[in-house]
Amino acid sequence: MSTLCSPSASLLRRLDRLGRLMRPTPLVELTFPGVRVFSKLEYLNPVGSVKDRTAYWILRRAVERGEVDERTTIVESSSGNFATALAAYAQLLGLRFIPVIDPNILPANEAFLRRACATVVKVDEPDESGGYLKTRLREVQALCARTDHAYWTNQYANIDGMDAHYRLTAAEVCADMPRLDYAFIGVSSAGTLAGMSRRLKEAFPGVRIIAVDAAGSAIFGCTPRRRHIPGLGAGIVPPLLEHARIDDVVIVPERETARACRELLWEHGLFAGGSSGTSYAAIQQHAPAMRETPGATALFLCNDRGTAYLDTVFDDEWVTRLE
């Protein structure tokens, strides 16, 4: 980790320019019986997902504190949207980024990372649980130990990752929505859930926060098992979860996610990825209870685009192979 020094003025200027690219994302209303359902289109962030906010804010705060400067190499264990956002923003800031990935990475994400980063470390040894998370984290520690001025963004425990959604994503919702009764928020690192739930509860004291997770994830105490749709879920309980303010939890099977993704596309015209479908499926499950409140208003995020999921969630044969 870099020693603390005064912030780099040139990195701050670049961050200001980057920040101006991050326009508020639109909020759209779906046609839905008996409940006003709104989706915030996070896939319209510059690099394509809700994790743009996390990457931008974590880098910004680290530069402001003088923990990241021109000499820094960013290191992170991620195969998904966080890695692609970090890769793009590190490149735009002129910083090196080494992503640590594993064989489950989507080919499109690996291609992106290999184009954006001079070094990509791909682990291939499964850990004791049969997954790769612990192997990847061990590799991150080893890389940080042997790299001068390494900075591990540590998305599962970084408070700035939560703050990103408190200050950016949720602040936009508060500015756009006069009323909110339910927010359905998917969980992996729990940064989005923790940050949004805290801000939304301040602005809408009666709002119910529904955490949405994938079946097979360990976050809410279930036995972890193999999951096939990236985005939501984790094999650990993320430290950021303790900061979240949760009223209810919905666990969605992967088949349901696939069904809901298709419904979002073919009935609502939203071409969104797995976690968006998972949250929409949770809304459908909660709809009878929500209809008891006149004018009930609900929100979910379309976290990323459907393109990376064409060979999985949107492929009939792939879906029939799901449990």
- Identify which of residues 50 and 98 has a Cβ nearer to ligand PLP in the complex: 50
Judged by CB under 6 A, does residue 306 bind ligand PLP? no
232 counts as binding ligand PLP under rule CB under 6 A: yes
Distance of CA 276 to CAs 33, 152, 264, 304, Å? Answer: 19, 28, 9, 7
Site for ligand PLP in 125-184 (CB under 6 A): none
Pairing relationship of beta strands 150-152 and 248-252 according to DSSP bridges: unpaired
Pairing of strands 27-30, 36-41: antiparallel
User: Which residue in the block uniquely carries the two structure tokens 């994302």?
Assistant: 25
At its nearest, how many Å lie between ligand PLP and the CB of residue 277? 10
Does residue 187 bind ligand PLP (CB under 6 A)? Answer: yes
| Residue 133 vs 193, nearer CB to ligand PLP | 193
* Stretch binding ligand PLP (CB under 6 A), from 1-9, 146-154, 188-196, 247-255: 188-196
Residue 308 is a binding residue for ligand PLP (CB under 6 A): no
C-alpha distances in Å from residue 262, one per residue of 124, 277, 293, 301: 33, 8, 28, 16
Smallest distance from ligand PLP to CB 251, Å: 15
Q: Give the nearest distance from C-beta 51 to ligand PLP in angstroms.
A: 5
Q: Choose, by CB under 6 A, the member of 99, 186, 216, 235 that binds ligand PLP.
A: 186
Nearer to ligand PLP, 186 or 216 (CB): 186
- Strand, coil or helix: what is 32? coil
Residue 304 sits in the site that holds ligand PLP (CB under 6 A): yes
CA atoms within 13 A on the CB side of 272: 32
Handedness of CA 86, 214, 251, 272 (dihedral sign): positive
Q: Does 191 bind ligand PLP (CB under 6 A)?
A: yes
Of 40, 112, 61, 115, the C-alpha closest to 82 is 112
233 scored as a contact of ligand PLP (CB under 6 A):
no
Q: In the window 254-273, what residues touch ligand PLP (CB under 6 A)? A: 273
Report the residue from 303, 308, 312, 314 that binds ligand PLP according to the rule CB under 6 A: 303
The DSSP line for 168-198 is IIHHHHHHH-S--SEEEEE-SSSHHHHHHHH
Q: Angle 230-232-235 (CA atoms, 0-180°, nearest 5)? A: 90
Output the six-digit token pair for 54.
């996390």
Q: Rule CB under 6 A: choose which of 14, 40, 51, 305 binds ligand PLP.
A: 51
Closest-CA residue to 181 (of 205, 162, 212) = 205
Q: Please choose, out of 101-109, 168-176, 185-193, 282-290, the segment that lies near ligand PLP by the rule CB under 6 A.
A: 185-193
Binding residue for ligand PLP (CB under 6 A) from 189, 257, 297, 312? 189
* CB of 231 vs ligand PLP, minimal distance in Å: 4
Q: Which segment (113-121, 173-181, 187-195, 203-211) binds ligand PLP by CB under 6 A?
A: 187-195
Quote the CA–CA distance of 113 and 8 in Å, as a whole number.
26
Chain residues 92-131 in contact with ligand PLP, contact rule CB under 6 A: none
Cα–chain-centroid distance for residue 212? 12
Q: Which residues bind ligand PLP (CB under 6 A)?
A: 49-51, 80-82, 186-193, 231-232, 273, 275, 303-304
